[in-house]
Amino acid sequence: MDFIPINVPAMGEEEKKAALSVIESGLLTDSSYEGGKWVKSFERKMRDLLNVKHVIAVNSGTAALHAALLAAGVGPGDEVLVPSFTFVATANVVLACGAKPVFVDTKGDYNIDPALLRGAMTKRTKAVIPVHLYGYPADMDEIREAATRKSVRVIEDAAESLGAEYRGRQTGSLSEEGCFSMYATKVATSGEGGAVSTDDDELADRVRLVRNHGMVHGYDTRHLGFNYRLPEMAAAIASVQMDRLPQFLKKRASNVKFLRERLTSVPGATFTQDAGDRTHSNYLHTLFLRRNRDKVLAKLNAAGIGAAVYFKTPVHRTPLYAKLGYAKELRQTQSASEHVLSLPVHPKLGEEEMDRVARGFVAAADGLL
Ligand SMILES: Cc1ncc(COP(=O)(O)O)c(C=O)c1O
């Protein structure tokens, strides 16, 4: 029986054709301030989707976050509010700027709790990074309101939420800067890749500078920068994936609908990301299991179903952050890390496979929840 992975890239003839055309052109990258033909094509499609003024392609979601923070002027002495229930990159980029991550607990939907922001702010707080976890939009209006009162910047980590909407607007377009990842497992991918979106001309200019060693014309470094350029081959694949994104999202949504209908009767397994004012990218379909999460996970994996846990260890509990002295109790974060389980819903899964996932879950959960 074939193993059903949690996420796989959906690549086809169009991606092959675009990648091959880059090889044949000999123009594998473009170190100009604006970037190459395919970088521009990917950026234009992202801009159109997000309805923003600027998109700057970079070579990872991590680079996007780092560039966004540097462009916003985050540096030594600053504090940045972040969730701990996220991928470690969200906090690592704060450290990379010489600033201090301050961890804030999450809500039942696994996103940062806006009610806790005010209490976590100090005179040194420079920014807050809400993460749209699993592709489900955070409470952006409340977050923005708490931040604006204290002149704190909001920078979205939309690495998992490409295509998700909050109150009719795309995630990543709801704050000063939005940061995306095109990593191999994401809803649209170029293997590695990322982007920063913004409506602010000056921030866009600075992100472009960070992308390319702070240079405009070459060897005229005017800002701290790195090589965060997206290669043309990856940009070509990313550009094609943007065309296919609506179909990917539709198929993910229908796979989730199928699962939810089949699993409603399983007691002790709850889906908590379904407020009516926002849509989900369904990057991960995640359930809260009342008990025995690891036993259910082991049974699913043994049955060839690639269920997975994101994230077993909250960032502030990882060895690096423990060494840095983070020991705070974050009750919701801890509980989520002990109870969540994600099931495969990626667009390459047809009805037969989704049926296997549903049956597999019911069987694995039997007597355990
Ligand atoms: C929430 C979150 N933030 C940041 C990143 C970093 O993106 P990348 O792996 O492209 O550097 C990821 C994904 O890997 C992520 O899931």
Question: Domains of the chain by range and CATH?
Answer: 13-241 (3.40.640.10), 245-365 (3.90.1150.10)
- 189 CB near ligand 1 (under 6 Å): no
CA quadruple 275, 250, 252, 192: dihedral sign: negative
Q: For position 73, what pLDDT does the model report?
A: 98
- 159 CB near ligand 1 (under 6 Å): yes
d(CA 105, CA 90): 14
Which atom of ligand 1 is nearest the CA belonging to 193?
10
d(CA 56, CA 17): 24
Q: For position 334, what pLDDT does the model report?
A: 98
Chain centre to alpha carbon of residue 14: 25
d(CA 127, CA 80): 5
Model confidence, pTM: 0.98
The DSSP annotation for 143-195 comes to HHHHHHHTT-EEEEE-TT-TT-EETTEETTSSSSEEEEE--TTSSS--SS-EE
- 3-state DSSP assignment of residue 29: coil
- 170 CB near ligand 1 (under 6 Å): no
Closest among 266, 218, 230 to 364, alpha carbons compared: 266
State the helix-helix crossing angle for 61-71 and 89-96, rounded to 10 degrees: 40
Residues 293 and 309: beta-carbon distance below 8 Å: yes
Determine which residue's CA is closest to atom 8 belonging to ligand 1: 61
- 344 CB near ligand 1 (under 6 Å): no
Residues of the chain with pLDDT under 70: 1
Amino acid at 63: A
Amino acid at 4: I
